[in-house]
Structure 1
Amino acid sequence: MYKHLILGRDTLVVHVAAAIVLGSLLLPAFPLLLPLALHLARSRLRTLVVLLTALAGVSFFYGTYLLTVSRRAL
């Protein structure tokens, strides 16, 4: 990244613009997650531990797949 900045290319501007676009795409999905967050706040500790452990496992295996098997990064 620094090489591009030294050469005078506008790589930083492209990354900032992409972050703004992705943020605006995620914003409409945020209210849909509020009921899930309220339900999780009311659930028992054991349920939270099991759910978060399962989500961490799925995230780990998906990340491993993207790094090792997938031909294109997301």
Structure 2
Amino acid sequence: MSEPEEKCIYCDQPNYFTDEHIFPAGLGGDDSRYLLKAGVCGDCNNGFSGIESTFQRRSVVGLARVIHQAKKS
């Protein structure tokens, strides 16, 4: 496998890109139309996952998701 030539928009290092959600998947950004296909390396993308998870659990958004989630019958 050859070395990547493009640089990540966050860390400015050459690395292999992964798909990045423009809006976190937990906030409805799991639609493929809202994915960046190039520009963010896997290391940076994974780093944002923890931040997004914390936000979703510890905010009004997280409370709203719990209240509005589908209920089991």
TM-score, normalized by the shorter chain, greater than 0.5: no
Instruction: Give the TM bin, normalised by the shorter chain.
Output: 0.3 to 0.5
Q: Which has the higher helix share?
A: 1
TM (norm. structure 2) is 0.32
| Structure exhibiting the larger radius of gyration computed from Cα positions | 1
More strand by share: 2
